[in-house]
Amino acid sequence: MARTLGSWWIKDGIDGRRIEAQGFASLLDSLAGFDWTQDHGDGGVLEKDFVETANYTEKVDTVDAVMMSSHGNPNGFSVSNGSVTTADTIRFGKGDLEVFATHACKLLEHTGANPVGRWCGAFDRLHYMCGFHNSSYSGGGQNARGTYFAMYAAYLKAVFPFMAAYPIREAWKMANVVVEGSNVEWAYLRATAPGADTYNEMLTTSEPVDPVTNRTFWTAHGSC
C-alpha cells in the first residue's frame, strides 16, 4: 500500500505558500509507492481537519506525511476559520500521520521561558514535527522548500540509487539551508521509543514502527 501525502496551504496573497506545500507532495507523488491524496487551500484549510472533532475523521490523519504553509506563533498556526493551538485536543498520528512539516513561524520555538514540550501533547503516534525556532519567510526564494524537502527525504535516493539517503531531520535542515538565510533557524521535535528509534528514520515507501510506549521527546534547532 502506498504512503500517502497531503498539502495544506493558506496563500494570504503569496502564491509561493501554495507552491511550497504542493511541491512536497507533487514530487513524491511522481515516485512509485507514494500517493498524493489530500490538497486543501485557503478556505479549505479547516480547524476540524487538525483538531479532534466528534463524529469526524480529521483529514490530516488520513495521510502519512503533510506539508503545510500558514502563519504561526509558538502556540499555534492559522487555519481559514481560526487557529489550531496547544490548547486544542490534537492527536496527530491517531490514524496514520507520521510527519507534520510546516513553515509556520516560531511554531517550534524552544526557550527557557517557552519550551517546545508544549507540543508533545499533539503527538499520538506522530514521529516528527518539522518547523522553525524563529521566523521563516515565503514568497521568493523559498518557493522550492517543499520540493527540496521531498528531494532530500526520498526522491534523490529513489531515482539515483547511488545517492546518499538522508533522515527526515537532515532532509528538513538541508532543504531550509538552501532556501532561507542564516538568520532563520530550522527546528524539529520528534518522539522516539524502544523499538521505534526515529533519529535516523527516513521517508520511505514502507510504514515505520510507531513510537508509542515509553516515549521520549527530542528537539533540535540551528541556523539555516
pLDDT of residue 140: 80
List the CATH number of the domain containing 137. 3.40.50
Average pLDDT over residues 34-59: 95
In sequence order, the 6+-apart residues with CB closer than 8 A to the CB of 53 are none
Task: Name the pTM for this structure.
Answer: 0.97
Determine the structural domain holding residue 19 and report its residue range: 3-223
Average pLDDT over residues 99-127: 97
For 25, the grid coordinates are 507532495
pLDDT band at 25 (very low <50, low <70, confident <90, very high): very high
- What CA–CA distance (Å, rounded) separates 54 from 218? 31
Q: pLDDT tens digits, residue range 82-103?
A: 999 999 999 999 999 999 999 9
Average pLDDT over residues 145-157: 97
User: What is the average pLDDT value for the chain, to the nearest integer?
Assistant: 96
pLDDT of residue 139: 83
Looking at the structure of the chain, the number of domains it has is 1
